[in-house]
Amino acid sequence: MTQSTFTPRVFSGIQPSGGLHLGNYLGAIKRFVTMQDEVAQSIYCMVDLHAITVWQDPKDLQHNTRELAAGFIASGISPEKSILINQSQVPEHAQLGWIFNCVARMGWMQRMTQFKDKAGKNAQNVSLGLFGYPALMAADILVYHATHVPVGDDQKQHLELTRDIATKFNHDYGVDFFPITEPVIEGAATRVMSLRDGDKKMSKSDPSDASRINMTDDADTIAKKIRKAKTDADALPSEAKGLEGRPEARNLVNIYAALADISVDQVLADVGGKNFGAFKPMLSDLAVAKLSPISGEMARLMSDPAEIDRILAKGAQQAREITVPILQKTYDIVGMVRPAV
């Protein structure tokens, strides 16, 4: 099956488990904003059903879902241009997720590195949902027949699994029904690293708050975290090749490039030869200039949660215009009896 048989449609999601950080912004949300103008339809989702694969306090989950919606909108995702939803308001995600639980193979799921990382030595005691997580993720995407999925680098394996599920479904039922989705993993910041360790991904689960910049951090906190970010003793190189073997330097340069919307080569043409004492204040000024308006707008939007709820309710209605017919057709293909229409 060729991609061209499907209308380009973008879908992506983020877990509302709190602590939206610079990695989420540069690796995902910033790309969501540009992509909403590049295709006719884009759907962005707070994946609350995914979030509860690990324990979430119900009050926190509600707060974090609204805060993530505020983060999307404050970053430039327009509810007029994109469909903005929380996953649980569109039941077809979970319904198609069940069908995909019956398509995906145990062996495929057991290979998922994110499950292995999250379960760690505790694999017997994690939820069944955490294991099945990638099948629901495939359903999120395919229940829209989405063709393009912007994500950070850590989601690559899950998107390969999505393609495997679509291929197996199409093959088993002898149809060309689900598209073979393209991951969109692009830009200088597809993998933003910890500010404390350039070999570790920036993550909300890192116990050190100094390892990440949160989207709700104020200007002083951002400046302090960048000032304290781990670096090496050398000056910055003038070409990207000179960043090899220097993970912390590479990370800060990548962050600068992504925030400024320029290439790493352009950054280094400017700052090559400078030491970190000179570069860090430049990075910190840029980060504050780009992020402060977003955190300010998030706080403003959060002062009217009812408006956020209205946006999500409208998004769910628009989403279901797409998902209901796709799920019905899937049920027909699988052989589920339903009332004649």
Closest listed residue to residue 46, CA positions, set 87, 80, 104, 89: 87
Smallest gap from residue 337 Cβ to ligand TYM (A):
30
Smallest gap from residue 215 Cβ to ligand TYM (A):
12
Cα end-to-end distance, the chain, whole Å: 29
Secondary structure (DSSP) of 201-251: B--TT-S-GGGS-BTT--HHHHHHHHHH----SSPPPSSGGGGTT-HHHHH
Q: Which two tokens stand for residue 68?
A: 């993530």
Nearer to ligand TYM, 205 or 275 (CB): 205
What are residue 325's DSSP bridge partners? none
- Convert 14-26 to b/e letters by CB count within 10 Å (16 or more is b): bbbbbbbbbbbbb
Active site residue 118: yes
**Residues within the interface to ligand TYM (CB under 6 A):** 11-15, 23-24, 27-28, 47, 50, 137, 140-141, 149, 151-152, 154-155, 158, 189-192, 201-202
DSSP 83: E
Rounded to whole angstroms, the Cα distance separating 94 from 102 reads: 13
Residue nearest to ligand TYM (CB): 27
Rounded to whole angstroms, the Cα distance separating 3 from 292 reads: 39
What number of other Cβ atoms are within 10 A of residue 181's Cβ? 25
Q: Environment class of residue 242 by beta-carbon count within 10 Å: exposed (0-12), middle (13-18) or buried (19+)? A: middle
Rounded to whole angstroms, the Cα distance separating 198 from 27 reads: 16
- Work out whether strand 41-46 and strand 83-86 pair parallel, antiparallel, or are unpaired: parallel
Residue among 156, 168, 204, 274 flagged as catalytic: 204
Nearer to ligand TYM, 162 or 231 (CB): 162
